[in-house]
Amino acid sequence: MTDIFSKSADGLWCRFNAETIHIQPWGTDSVRVRATPARDFRDEELSALLPWSGSGARIEIEATHARLINGRLTAEVFTVYPHGEPKQELNIRFIDNTTGKELLRETRSHFGWPAPRHYEARSSDTYWIEATFAAYDDERIYGLGQRQHGFLDQKGCVLPLIQQNAEVNIPFALSSRGYGFLWNNPAVGRVEFGRNLTRWVAEAARQVDYWVTAGSPVSRADASTAISSGVNPARAATLGSIWKVTAGPLMVFSMPLRMSTAPGTLRIASATLGAHCSSKAGSSENNLI
């Protein structure tokens, strides 16, 4: 334990610069990251993640950095001096333990400001939130639901995180670098997969909340997602639908903006999943992964 880092039964805690970060093991080879400038975390009722009480992660703490190691994935938090500034900040990066390769890391969008996790107060308990990560030249991004632009690779796209006519938003991305990323936030926002950075934005939210899983093959990342978010009852019949990773709770997660009540959302989701299972029963295409 240090002034910045501490550990508990449920994960790694980091407190610095009026911000609290909580990193928890959440599923196989996976971690959940939450961060807030508020006093406490607030779990969203519409979280796409199932409750998780698994253990077995290892936590290592030193003066200037700390690591949470869960199977194949390491989440490392470390202090940095951005571009020689005297004021420190905390950055997070994710490493594949089998290869030693960096999968993803936070970065500033500009050397001066803002920090990788940026908050602007919107009300007494909500913030405009931005989470910014490094971009990689060789990376391809798949998933994000049903979009009308016609691109399988989302790299270079700016995507609204909102349900619209003929577009289904599922804020889960699969990277060719060997990780899956879920933006676990039902707020309206956008994601920018630029050549210089990746930025996730929530226009009114209580905290940063995302989930990262490691796994090179699509099927491995998909399996981890199913464990943490709910088992997909049937495979879709097209390649585009496979990349969508339409696990049950993720489908429900994408619907509340169009439904006025929770029971209405659940009825539609249940009927949709039932029809999908019936239409695909016995199809050999369900075994594409």
Question: The domain 5-280 is classified under which CATH number: 2.60.40.1760, 3.30.70.1110, 3.90.1280.10, 2.40.30.210?
Answer: 2.60.40.1760
**CA 126, chain centre distance (Å):** 19
Chain position carrying tokens 């990746």? 198
pLDDT of residue 21: 96
Give strand pairing partners of 76: 67, 93
pLDDT at 284 over 80: no
Q: Where are the domains of the chain?
A: 5-280
Question: Is 157's pLDDT higher than 80?
Answer: yes
Query: Peptide bond before 217: cis, by omega within 30 degrees of 0?
Result: no
Residue spans of alpha helices (H) in 123-238: 218-229
* Per-residue pLDDT, 248: 35
Cα 126 to Cα 204: distance, rounded to the nearest angstrom:
5
What CA–CA distance (Å, rounded) separates 35 from 14? 9
Is the pLDDT score of 210 beyond 50? yes
Residue, of 53 and 245, whose pLDDT is higher: 53
CB neighbours of residue 20 within 10 Å: 17
User: Mind listing the pLDDT tens digit for each residue in 168-187?
Assistant: 889 999 999 999 999 998 89
**What are the residues whose beta carbons fall under 8 Å from the beta carbon of 121, sequence distance 6 or more?**
127
